[in-house]
A and B are shown apart, each in its own frame.
Chain A
Amino acid sequence: MPEFAVLHEKPHSFYSLYERKGELQHQTHYCPGCGHGIVHKLVARAIDELGIQNRAILVSPVGCSVFAYYYFDVGNVQVAHGRAPAVATGVKRAHPESIVISYQGDGDLAAIGSAEILHAANRGENITVFFVNNAIYGMTGGQMAPTTLVGQKSTTSPFGRNVWNEGSPIKVCELLNALDAPVYLERVALGSNKQIMAAARAVRRALEVQMRGQGFSLIEVLSPCPTIWKKDPVEAQHWVAEELVKTFPLGVVRDRTKDAPVRPASAAPPALDKIPGILGLEQDDPGPTVGGPAAREPVELAVKVAGFGGQGVLLLGEVLAEAGLASGLQVSWLPSYGPEMRSGTSNCHVRIATRPIASPLVLRPNVLLAMNEPSLRKFLPTVEPHGLVIYNGAACPADCLRPDVTLIAAPFAQLADGLGGARAANIAMLGALLEAAPVPFESQVPNVLRKLVRSPKWLEIDLAALARGRQAARQEVAS
């Protein structure tokens, strides 16, 4: 009796019994002659041969292959229609050692998921995509796919695909070939024995690209869908070989396996105890304690800073808030944000108080720092009686006066300009504020400037502007 050895059998990367399937656990849910089964087999064999079953994670799509996880004995993630490349990105980046496979149909990949595949490919994600192109929507019963041939009838192109209405079939490999990053792109088919063997080699090669860490690979498989095509399986196979390949030529579209570099591995993560330092939350500096000495006399500052974008409105507010915080006071800083930051007006609300701050909004300020005339006109009426207004201008306009508030007007921009930078007008106004309304956090302001102003040149100008602003306020008050 001659001795025989098994040459080909069911790959180990398939479950021996499809327990997740419920009924008929020994056969797939695919129609007789469906190409999905063959692609599954090629993928499972390659996983076996490459020894990557434990590392493999299959991302299954929405389409007839939605249940790929019934069959593959690997890690499985089932995802939303078209989103497999995005999910695969999240999985792969979490576990770079895993081998992540995105398995998708043509509706899934080339229609609803066209953005996800394009960008995953463009990033060169180190994943492998098996793209089963059967030129139709199988699962939903035969609607037109982006890959449906011109003239091909479907339930939603009953008169045949018309380029004037539906456009031409999308050639995914050629489309992705326009991108820099993909390493390996090949179109294969299941139309003949020879084609299937070529497909087997391509599947394996694509996985090897990922194992080497080179990056993105995609194999497009022209695959029969006998049921929707209304052909018997053998006719359908012939139709792949004779018709589909005319629109979708077979072959390697991109092969950079020889020269594509290995994607750099990410550095080892830092130890957990380094994290606060990385976030700038150093533990050695205890920082201010709330309710410290400065907090003894009650403070209730409600400051509105307003001006043009670019005048340093927000920074002025921030210096105030930081100084208050450094003195152990309660503080809040609320900006007007958005387009105003780029042009037009800018304002911010700052509160500094002994008591916890209820609302950070300052609608009735007791201090207004108006860096331009429109701001003065807009906010002067909102200032609380007995409040303080500091205005960046030689004098307040005659129709802009309020007898019940203290008004200090000085050309702070010019003063700052004289010191080397008109942009320090905001700090000059801060100086004026410290002079006109002695506040308990006054001494902290220079420290805060040292912390917030990184450029030594500007720090010098700012410190000079602070002093100059004080002087201007003294003169104003005296006059």
Chain B
Amino acid sequence: MKTGDRGRVDLDSEECKGCGLCVEACPPKVLALASHLNRYGYHPATYSGEGCTGCGICYFACPEPGAIVVWRLKAEARPVAQAA
């Protein structure tokens, strides 16, 4: 993880159905469908590991209730400009 990222995402490849809606939705385009298949034959979504802003958009775009968890940098740890 690149220091300075405001967010990060956990993707549960077991719950993911590879629909790609999160990939489409992510503004900085840090998500992608993996080339490998998961147990159910889907290409699961993966996080590139850097650049997530913690905007949460992928979470709302995803139809699976628990496939995506979005983390946000804690307020006190955020750069001053962002906390305002």
Contacts and interface: CB of A to CB of B under 8 A. Distances in A.
Check A-B contact in the complex, CB < 8 A: yes
Given A2-B77, A6-B70, A7-B72, A33 B59 contact: no
Specify which of B20, B61, B66 lies most central, judged by the most chain A CB atoms within 10 Å of its CB: B66
Contact of B70 (A8, A37, A197): A8
A3 B19 contact: no
Nearest to B17: A32
B51 interface: no
Interface string B43-65: 00000000000101101111111
Specify which of B3, B20, B59, B63 lies most central, judged by the most chain A CB atoms within 10 Å of its CB: B63
A85 B54 CA distance: 39
Interface string A1-41: 01111111111001010000000101110111111111011
Given A7-B70, A10-B65, A197 B60 contact: yes
Interface string B13-33: 011011111001100000000
- For chain A, the bracket of interface size reads 35 or more
A8 B66 contact: no
B66 A30 contact: no
Contacts of A27: 14-15, 17, 40, 64, 67
B74 interface: yes
B57 to A, nearest CB: 5
Given A32-B17, A32-B42, A38-B60, A11 B71 contact: no
B37 interface: no
B71 A232 contact: no
B60 A32 contact: no
B34 interface: no
A193 B71 contact: no
B81 to A, nearest CB: 16
Contacts of B17: 27, 31-33
A32 B70 CA distance: 20
A8 B59 contact: yes
Nearest to B18: A32
A233 B19 contact: yes
Interface in A214-229: 226
Interface string A57-74: 000000000000001000
A196 interface: yes
A183 B75 CA distance: 38
Nearest to B76: A3
A41 B60 contact: yes
Given A34-B63, A237-B21, A6 B57 contact: no
A38 B57 CA distance: 12
A434 interface: no
A6 B20 contact: no
B21 A233 contact: yes
B65 A40 contact: yes
A200 interface: yes
Interface in A382-421: none
A44 B59 CA distance: 13
A315 to B, nearest CB: 67
B7 to A, nearest CB: 7
Interface of B: 3, 5, 7-8, 12, 14-15, 17-21, 24-25, 40, 42, 54, 56-57, 59-74, 77
Interface of A: 2-11, 14, 16, 24, 26-28, 30-38, 40-42, 44, 71, 193, 196-197, 200, 226, 232-234, 237
25 contacts: A2-B74, A3-B74, A4-B72, A5-B71, A5-B73, A5-B74, A6-B70, A7-B56, A7-B72, A8-B56, A10-B65, A27-B40, A30-B63, A32-B17, A33-B19, A33-B20, A36-B63, A37-B63, A37-B64, A38-B62, A42-B60, A44-B65, A71-B65, A196-B60, A234-B20
Give the 7 A-B CB pairs with smallest separation, nearest first: A37-B63, A10-B66, A33-B19, A32-B17, A32-B19, A4-B71, A233-B19
